[in-house]
Amino acid sequence: MADGTRAELRQYTDEIEDVRVLYFITALCTVIASAGTSSTAARAQHPAHRADGQPGDRRPGAHQ
């Protein structure tokens, strides 16, 4: 195999690896964003929390 062909193949392989890394990071960010949204939505629907994010029950010792 000629050196020129080998260099082109190496460059092509590096470009594919860059795309794989970009895809992985994008997928990871999507999972993290989805997890954050889900926990926020679940917390907002929980009866112990009001819409302003403060605990709904203000009796002493109710929330620790």
pLDDT of residue 55: 57
pLDDT of residue 49: 55
pTM, entire model? 0.47
Query: What's the CA gap between 34 and 25, in Å, rounded?
Result: 14
* Cα dihedral across residues 17, 23, 29, 31: positive or negative: negative
Low-confidence residues of the chain: pLDDT under 70: 1-2, 38-64
